[in-house]
Amino acid sequence: MSSVVVVGTQWGDEGKGKIVDLLTRYADYVVRFQGGNNAGHTLVVEGKKFIFHIIPSGILYKDKKCMIGNGVIIDPAVLISEMDKLRDQGLAVTPDRLMISERAHLIMPYHASLDQAGEAALTTEKKIGTTGRGIGPCYMDKVGRGGIRACDLLDDVIFREKLQTVVAEKNFLLTEKFNCAPLDFEQIYRSYKEYGEKLIPYFGNVSVELDNARKSNKNILFEGAQGTHLDIDHGTYPFVTSSNTIAGNACNGSGFGPAHIDAVVGIMKAYTTRVGAGPFPTELFDETGNSLQEKGHEFGATTGRRRRCGWLDGIVVSDATRLNGLTGLAITKLDVLSGQKTIKFATSYDLAGKKLMAMPSNIRQATELTPVYENLEGWQEDIEKVREYDELPVQAQDYIKRIEDFIGIPADIVSVGPDRVETLLLRNPFEIQ
C-alpha cells in the first residue's frame, strides 16, 4: 500500500490531470483535496479530450473510486453538469464510483456575485485576475464560520435557517456596497434543494473511507489543483488562490494522517506559464513567448484565458520542492521546446545587485526581479513519437539532467505529447520504498 500526492510546482496549468491519469492505473482511490471549479484538468485519451473542474480525473478508470475531500468547495450546478457530460460520453458517475465529503463547503450564487463585483471595483493595477466563480468569497465564509456545507442539505431546518441569515447579509453588501441587484432567497433555496436530491446519495465521510482503504492496503492518489505559487500562504500573495495548494493540505483537505503519505510528485512544465496577474520573472514578451504559447496551446482549461509564457524558472520549482517535500518530478510539455536553438533556464534572481535563491515575500520586490539564466543547447527533432527515454535527443536528456541536478531530485515522469500514451514513466512513485 502506498499514498502519493501530486501537486503543481509553478502557477498551475502544469499538466497535473495527465499525470494523475497516468498514475491512476496504479491506484485504487483518487482524491481531490482542495480548490473549486476555478481549476481545470485537461486529458487527451486516444485523441478524445476530457476537461474536469471538480471530479477527479481518475474517473476515466471505471474500476477506481474517486473522492472529493472536505477541502474542496463545490458549485453543485457545475458538478452536476460535469457528471451529466461524462454520462453522455459513456462514463456513468455513480455513488459507488464517487464519494463527496459531507464536510465540503458549497459555492452559492451570492459568492459568484460578490466575487465579480469585488474584482470589478478594483483599479486595473490591483485586480487579482480571479475567475469570478465565487471561490474566494466561499473560502471567506468557510473561515468566518458562515459557510454552508454539503451535510446542511441533509437537514432542511438547518439549511433554511442558515441560508436566510446569509442571504440577508450578502444582499446588504451587494446593494449597499456594490450597488448590485439583490438575490432571491426562495429561488436559491429551491435550486439547492433540487441539487441536494441529486447529490445526497454521493455524500459520505471521506476520512473514514480513506482510513479503511489504507488499512486494507489500497493505493491512494491525492490530486491537487492549481500550483504551489498560488498557495494562499506560500504563493505570490495577493496574486494567489484562496486555498492551500501545497502537499500538506492533502491531509487537511481529506482527513488523512500525514504519517501515511509515502511520496510527493511535483508537476512542472519544461517552461513556465501563468494565468492572470502577478509576478512572473521569466515571462517572455517576444516571438519566443508567442511561439511557446501557440505551440503549447496555452489557454486556460477553465477560463479560456491566454497563458503568459516564459522560460523555466528553477527558483520557482526549487521553492516548490522545499514547500512540498517533493520526492520526484514529472516534467510535462517537453515537446513544446523542440525547435528552440537555445533554451534558457533561470538559476537565480538579481534584485538591485543582490543574488536571491528564493522568491521574496515582498510583492513589489517580486515584480522587480531579473532572472539570471544558463543557456542550454536545444534540439530540433520532433519527440512526440518517443517511447523510451534513451530515444530522446541527447540535448533533451541533458536538459532534464540539468533540472534534476539543480532541483536535487529525480524526474519520475517525462511527457513528450498531449496524449495518454505520450508519457515516459521512469520511476513509479507507488513503488518507492
> Which residues are catalytic, by number?
13, 41
Chain CA centroid to CA 104, Å: 17
Contacts of 184 (CB under 8 A, 6+ apart): none
Residue 185: which residues within 8 A CB-CB, separation 6 or more?
163, 164, 167, 168
Given a contact cutoff of 8 angstroms between Cβ atoms, the answer to whether 378 and 339 are in contact is yes
CB 107 within 8 A of CB 138: yes
Residue 278 gets the label, from left (phi > 0), alpha (psi -120 to 50) or beta, of left
Do residues 247 and 7 touch, judged by C-beta distance below 8 A? yes
* Phi, psi angle pair for 199, to nearest 5°: -100, -25
User: What one-letter code names the amino acid at 433?
Assistant: Q
294 contact partners, CB below 8 Å, separation of at least 6: none
The rounded distance, in Å, linking the Cα atoms of 232 and 237 is: 7
Cell triple for 95: 455513488
- Any bridge partners for residue 41, and if so which? 52
Cα dihedral 109, 111, 114, 116 sign: negative
**Distance in angstroms (rounded) separating the CA atoms of residues 262 and 363:** 34
Closest to 300 in 3D by CA, of 333, 281, 274, 271? 274
**3-state DSSP call for residue 71?**
coil
CA angle (155, 66, 39) in 5-degree steps = 85
Query: What is the edge-to-edge ordering of all strands in the sheet holding 411-415?
Result: 203-204, 98-101, 65-68, 29-32, 220-223, 3-8, 263-269, 328-332, 411-415, 423-425
